[in-house]
Structure 1
Amino acid sequence: MRKTFYISILIFVLSGIANAQISGQLFQNGSEIPGIEVYFKNSEQKVESDFNGYFKLPMPKGTEKNDLILSGYGITIEIQNVEIDTTKYDLEKFEFPAFKSIKINEYEKLTKSEKENCYPIYHWTELVGYYYTRKLEKDYLTLNCNHDISNFEYNSVSKTIKVDWNTIMNCK
């Protein structure tokens, strides 16, 4: 009787540990970035990357596929068709993209409508340049794999990057 009780408790504890989740560490320009909101599109549960850029998000139940959203610093990444199952996925180190930075003299050459897509960059109180939101700093996404991912879409109006889950999973 006692043996059955302990086995039942062990199974209960281990089932809690084995919950499906997705995790990773977010970087931008080589530094960990906190405060990136991470959630599944059709789920109410959201987490933010911590001070060291780490996040852990439980997989939603009741669906086979869902889109993973990473959002912050004016950019949203939508990883489409994430396969929801009982596995723990670790994206490992994920370089969060940045907008293209331009110099002040480059900004002055832009048209009025192009200037509307720029944010100033200040160092203390001195203007040092601009972020141009119509373009990304790099034409690829960097994950912890052997090659960079260039198979994605960037919508400069919504500031959204869309990439398929299989592209990321084939990266490893």
Structure 2
Amino acid sequence: MYAYRRQPRMAQDMVMISERPSEATDRAIPGHWEGDLIIGKAHKSAIGTLVERTTRFVVLVHLPDGRQPAQVRDALVQAVSTLPAQLRRSLTWDQGSEMALHKQFSTATDMPVSFCDPGSPWQRGSSENTNGLLRQYFPKSTDLARYTREELDTVAAELNSRPRKTLGWETPAERLAKLLATVS
């Protein structure tokens, strides 16, 4: 199907990326996240990915029981609730049906969700790049439900300690630590 012919999956109460605050777009203020799912073998399993736009810090979301909207909502609420308040400004996602309960997520976390245009993955470039890196750990033919929360945390820690050219060869963990130190 052509991207321009696609209909939004959640037409009710969707905030589009064009309406997202400019501070999220220019990466000047931390706390704006991009999210997505990587899908496992036979489309039966998934891992949620969250990437903070300023620091490129990664949080992996454990979805061992599936990727239905309620499961994704609950797992995202749990993951985001561990973050300091100043790092919970917004979340940008594609129009996947797994985010059908985005308003409930926003209510529970006080974190608005905006959606990319259909067929426009480049609007979440950090997320797409991170998902590519994650495929080194989780190949496409893998049952992602078999991974434990601890295994996901180990992979996230490896990615967060990997120097990034875009960060002046600092790691996401170093950049996040500096950021949190200046706010404290």
Q: What interval of TM-score do these two structures reach, taking the shorter chain for normalisation?
A: under 0.3
Larger fraction in helix: 2
Q: Which has the higher contact order (CA 8 A, sep 6+)?
A: 2
The two structures have a TM-score, normalised by structure 2, of 0.21
The two structures have a TM-score, normalised by structure 1, of 0.22
Larger fraction in strand: 1
